[in-house]
Structure 1
Amino acid sequence: MSFSSLPLEAPLVDTHAHLYTLDMPLNANAWHKPPRDATVEHYLSVLDTHGVQFAVLAAASIYGDYNDYHIRACRRHARLRTTIIAHPQLDMYTLERMKADGVVGIRLQWRNVEERPDLTSVEYQRLLRRVADLNWHVHVHDDSHRLPETIRLLEQAGVRLVIDHFGRPNEQHGLAAPGFQAVLQSVDRGNTWVKLSAGFRLPSENFARECAAELLKSAGPERLLWGSDWPFAAFENRVSYADTISAFTRWIPDKHARRKIAGETALKLYFS
């Protein structure tokens, strides 16, 4: 694919969305119960309406390691990739088959999880080694105060990192928060990307802009990604897809930087 041939504002690569149907088995401790289906057909129609050509699905923690629907969607649609929630006992043969079906990484969704699994355990060390061997990444969503240790342990394992939702900094500590600073330092070390996604989950629009500006200054567009977080779990009736694209233009006013973030950087990381 020639990146130089892409139009200035498109295609956008949406690097964060979820798919599910109401008849899928929810986890017993699911933090949210969706009000309606979010099917692959509906999502693709949303992408087409807004001129988005490619997308990366994020494993939804409310369904645990039931990754089936995402994987089947990727088998059917070459424009899609996905992460999975992986049981640490998954064998390499299974993971290789998943890679052939469009899986690009594992998701650690630990925000609001009281106790994080032990990343130094034999089981997780084996899983992380397999992730590195597959040239996948670890997609991390953790509470900001816990991110410094999470990042340290994952970097020690030698995997590539993608941090969700700006790193979820809190407004009380602002940009100086240890978790946000740990994200910036990890990007500087060269094996981490950060998603500018779900700004509506941050305390305010102004805070999201401040975080985006600092990330752009420190990381540059080569280490940033854009994601919609469709279908906006727990915000289903308050956010539209167009809202998320508009927010992105406010966070990153320079159109050339947006083109890099939502086009070239994402395509290289997920589709090359």
Structure 2
Amino acid sequence: MTRDGETTISQDQAAEGFADRWCVQDAPAAVAIDSHAHVFIQGLPLARERRHTPDYNASVDDYAQQLAANRISHGVLVQPSFLGTDNAFLLAALKRYPSRFRGVVVVEPDIDEAQLEALARLGVVGVRLNLISCALPQLHSPLWQRFMARINALDWHIEVQCQAEDLPYLLGALLDGGCKVVIDHFGRPDPQRAEADPGFQYLLTQGDTGRVWVKLSGAYRCAQMCSDPCGRAFGERAAKLLLQAFSSSRLLWGSDWPHTQHQQWVDYAATTSALLDWVADPCERDQVMMHTPQKLFKFNP
């Protein structure tokens, strides 16, 4: 089968490649939760319009090994932009490891009720709006207002990846719609402006809403490559400001594995060690890595 000139494989074939290193019946208690990672392999159907096409595999087995090596017990799988609304590969991972993983999917706002309920039964806890280089949705339209009401009824969150300059419109509309909102990758400020970006400064004013969470993830996507290719310096400065604005009860840590388009500069171990600098207090770090994501992403105690 082909799509957009690419050779594809079925989701059943992809699932056959999953390893059994993690036994579902032997799922551990939550010790640390990675709130942002992606899984994919070559040959999956790709979105026709995409910014990036990876030329390597990032399988569930690969991800499991990274978690085990870094003493992370659970993970949240986020649908990557280049797979569009075809969430089948992510859902296959949730079916195989229902206790260890939760999912954040990409769907159309007119998705029917039965499909949403089926996703919830598989461990989906949110939907993602990936708006980098995309037109912003008309969130005040009747279609989106109905969609947000349905997401709220499921007690899901809406996860947003956008340039920081778009946060005032998007956050304002989503909060007006009563949504819980998770902001990806420090809010994606312009690397030239970093934490001085007006959009990031706006984000810092939203801590008292009680309905916004921010992921300390993908710092390298917000930093200047020439001076801070891994984003550690930016992450340390930005995390301090976010802790002051949101407290550890509204912050999440994510590896952003497999660090697409940045894998030559950063690896999983580097993302975990960076958090030691970003959140120095062990109690606050425990909140960011376990208690906050455990509640938000509905991991059973």
Which TM-score tier does this pair reach, normalised by the shorter chain? Answer: over 0.9
Residue matched to 2:20: none
Does the 8 Å contact 2:106/2:128 carry over to 1? Answer: yes
Higher relative contact order (CA 8 A, sep 6+): 1
Comparing 227-236 and 175-184, the one that deviates more: 175-184
Cα deviation per residue 1:145-190 (whole Å; 9 max; x = unaligned)? 1111110011111110000011112354443433113222222111
Q: What is the 5 A alignment of 1:149-160?
A: 149-160=169-180
Residue matched to 1:44: 64
Does the 8 Å contact 1:145/1:179 carry over to 2? Answer: yes
Letter in 1 for 2:137: P
Does the 8 Å contact 1:61/1:109 carry over to 2? Answer: yes
Q: What is the 5 A alignment of 1:97-246?
A: 97-113=118-134, 115-203=135-223, 204=228, 205-246=232-273
Q: Let me know the Cα RMSD of the aligned residues.
A: 1.7
Does the 8 Å contact 1:27/1:64 carry over to 2? Answer: yes
- Bigger CA radius of gyration: 2
Does the 8 Å contact 2:194/2:222 carry over to 1? Answer: no
Does the 8 Å contact 2:251/2:292 carry over to 1? Answer: yes
Letter in 1 for 2:220: F
Does the 8 Å contact 2:41/2:58 carry over to 1? Answer: yes
Distance 1:174 1:166 in 2: 10
Distance 1:30 1:61 in 2: 7
Letter in 1 for 2:151: V
Distance 1:98 1:52 in 2: 25
Counterpart check, 1:29 vs 2:49: yes
TM-score normalized by structure 1? 0.93
Distance 1:225 1:207 in 2: 17
Distance 1:58 1:171 in 2: 23
Cα deviation per residue 1:67-108 (whole Å; 9 max; x = unaligned)? 111111111102000101011111111101100101000000
Residue matched to 2:115: 94
Does the 8 Å contact 1:171/1:207 carry over to 2? Answer: no
Cα deviation per residue 1:38-61 (whole Å; 9 max; x = unaligned)? 111111111111111010011111
Distance 2:197 2:58 in 1: 35
Letter in 1 for 2:50: A
Does the 8 Å contact 1:14/1:55 carry over to 2? Answer: yes
Q: Mark the runs of 5 or more structure 1 residues left unpaired by the alignment.
A: 1-5
Does the 8 Å contact 1:151/1:182 carry over to 2? Answer: no
Cα deviation per residue 1:187-241 (whole Å; 9 max; x = unaligned)? 2111110000011222133222111000011111100000000001111232110
Residue matched to 1:11: 31
Distance 2:191 2:261 in 1: 21
What is the SS of the residue equivalent to 1:151?
A: helix
Distance 1:59 1:187 in 2: 26
Counterpart check, 1:254 vs 2:248: no
TM-score normalized by structure 2? 0.84
Distance 2:102 2:51 in 1: 25
- Deviation (angstroms), 1:256: 1.6
- Deviation (angstroms), 1:129: 0.8
Comparing 164-173 and 99-108, the one that deviates more: 164-173
